[in-house]
């Protein structure tokens, strides 16, 4: 029966994963036995959903394609399809270089895969997915594309202009997910701040989140990837007053130096950024902010790095990640700037910021000892249950560890805990009544 099995390998971001889950549902509805990222699959058909965002991600995608191309040459699989962002951008070159691939599909052409497999796309299942995450939470993608013109970013080149999904369509999908047991929605978009402008002529993020909070069975909503320019301040009232909306916001700031922000074409300066962060924290007391910084952008000086270090120390972000600049084809930076900062300097600058953040995280965690918090349990190993608070998102943020020897907990359930000890990033806790 392996002829009727399909294994999908999903690479890249959570937005890609949503596309994978949508395709899986269509294949399942067409009587295929479908799996995702199964290591020892005997499926004769493999579909790779690629990422083409930055150099490392592109390399991972190409390596995966080559791995399955070799498997096809060895007769281990019969059919190999490639979809997603890398395929969207480089399909002609890939088709020439890797002839073992039966067909390449763009990021938005995944529905054609069903037809290629001699089946029909089923509109009745268009808002349904096969969840690959633990069943108590799911990503909820509310838009595609991006209208920003950041110098370093290839996303608008790959995905095109921002396209918001209608509120009703998103709520329908959320209701289907909740009916299947999902308690937490991780709301995602390349640019949450712009949601609704193209479709309704104004920001609709706050209204959408309010409607999502009314979905039966929902416990938590977390917001990911807001843009600092044109930030929709009305969402802050919802976050402050609606108990189902977590006091958590992922907002990518990228830098603090006016010089670098200008080179990046971010549309905001340092003073405006500080005002934004202070207002968010003032209007939503106790909020956790996750952000990312990009170091090594062309034109970034040592003075700019000192500015960024001072900014990180001053703002004390609860969650922070750092990426070294990657020169991406056809971006404004690739066309107009020279990528003249050595890779070892980029990596050293990244390490400097992360060293500062480690200390900030440790101090923030120390202040939580004795605090009572609510957690949702994601998984269990021999020694611990691993949970998350409303201030933590899946895979990218710290976890709460609870002894599996002393407590008998259920995956996907929520518990009140008290923090008893901390590490630089993770917390240790006991369950309380």
What is the mean predicted confidence (pLDDT) over 144-169? 95
Q: What are the pLDDT digits (tens) for 279-291?
A: 999 999 999 999 9
Cα separation, 320 vs 298, in Å, equals 22
What does 47-95 look like in DSSP terms, one character per residue?
EEEE--SSHHHHHHHHHHHHHHHHHHHTTS-SEEEEEEHHHHHHHHHHH
Q: How confident is the model at residue 411 (pLDDT cuts 50, 70, 90)?
A: very high
Q: How confident is the model at residue 38 (pLDDT cuts 50, 70, 90)?
A: confident
Does residue 106 have a pLDDT over 80?
A: yes
Q: Compute the C-alpha angle 418/414/176, nearest 5°.
A: 155
- CB contact at 8 A, 297 and 333: yes
Cα separation, 217 vs 359, in Å, equals 38
What is the mean predicted confidence (pLDDT) over 177-182? 95
Q: What are the pLDDT digits (tens) for 122-135?
A: 988 888 999 999 99
pLDDT at residue number 43: 92
pTM (predicted TM-score): 0.93
pLDDT at residue number 305: 98
Q: What are the pLDDT digits (tens) for 16-37?
A: 999 999 999 999 999 999 999 8
HSE-CB for 433 with a 13 A CA cutoff = 0
Q: Is 316 left (phi over 0), alpha (psi -120 to 50) or beta?
A: left
- The total number of residues written for the chain in this structure: 433
Does residue 53 have a pLDDT over 90?
A: no
Q: What are the pLDDT digits (tens) for 220-244?
A: 999 999 999 999 999 999 999 999 9
Q: Give residue 227's Cα distance to chain centre.
A: 14
Pick from 160, 155, 116: nearest CA to 331: 155
Cα separation, 229 vs 231, in Å, equals 5
User: Both tokens of residue 23?
Assistant: 């395709």
């Amino acid at each position: 029966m392996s002829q009727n099995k399909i294994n999908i390998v999903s690479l890249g971001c959570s937005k890609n994963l949503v596309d994978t889950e949508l395709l899986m549902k269509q294949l399942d509805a067409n009587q295929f036995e479908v799996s995702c990222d199964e290591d020892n699959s005997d499926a004769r058909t493999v579909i790779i959903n690629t990422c083409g965002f930055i150099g490392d991600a592109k390399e991972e995608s190409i390596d995966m394609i080559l791995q399955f191309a070799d498997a096809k040459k060895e007769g281990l699989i019969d059919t190999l399809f490639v979809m997603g962002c890398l395929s969207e951008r480089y399909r002609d070159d890939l088709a020439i270089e890797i002839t073992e691939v039966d067909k390449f599909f763009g990021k938005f052409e995944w529905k054609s895969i069903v037809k290629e497999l001699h089946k029909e796309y089923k509109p009745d299942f268009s808002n349904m997915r096969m969840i690959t995450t633990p069943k108590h939470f799911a990503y909820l993608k509310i838009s595609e594309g991006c209208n920003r013109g950041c110098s370093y970013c290839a996303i608008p080149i790959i995905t095109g202009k921002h396209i918001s999904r209608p509120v009703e369509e998103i709520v329908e999908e959320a209701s289907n997910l909740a009916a299947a047991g999902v308690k937490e929605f991780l709301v995602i978009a390349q640019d949450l701040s712009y949601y609704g402008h193209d479709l309704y002529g104004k920001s609709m993020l706050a209204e959408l989140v309010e409607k999502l909070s009314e979905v039966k069975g929902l416990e938590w909503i977390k917001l990911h990837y807001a843009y600092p320019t044109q930030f929709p301040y009305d969402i802050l009232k919802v976050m402050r007053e609606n108990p189902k909306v977590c006091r958590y916001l992922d907002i990518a700031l990228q830098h603090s130096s006016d010089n670098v922000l200008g080179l990046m074409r971010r549309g905001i300066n340092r003073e405006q950024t500080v005002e934004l962060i202070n207002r968010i924290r003032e209007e939503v007391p106790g909020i956790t902010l996750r952000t990312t910084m990009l170091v090594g952008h062309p034109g970034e000086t040592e003075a700019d790095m000192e500015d960024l270090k001072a900014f990180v120390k001053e703002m004390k972000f609860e969650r922070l990640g750092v990426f070294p600049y990657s020169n991406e084809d056809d971006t404004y930076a690739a066309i107009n700037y020279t990528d003249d900062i050595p890779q070892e300097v980029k990596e050293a600058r990244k390490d400097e910021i992360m060293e500062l953040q480690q200390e900030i995280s440790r101090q923030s965690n120390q202040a939580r000892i004795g605090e009572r918090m609510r957690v949702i349990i994601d998984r269990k190993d021999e020694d611990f249950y691993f949970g998350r608070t409303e201030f933590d998102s899946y895979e990218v943020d710290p976890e709460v560890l609870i002894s599996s020897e002393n407590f008998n907990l259920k995956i996907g359930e929520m518990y009140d805990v008290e923090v008893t000890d901390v590490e630089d990033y993770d917390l240790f806790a006991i369950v309380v009544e």
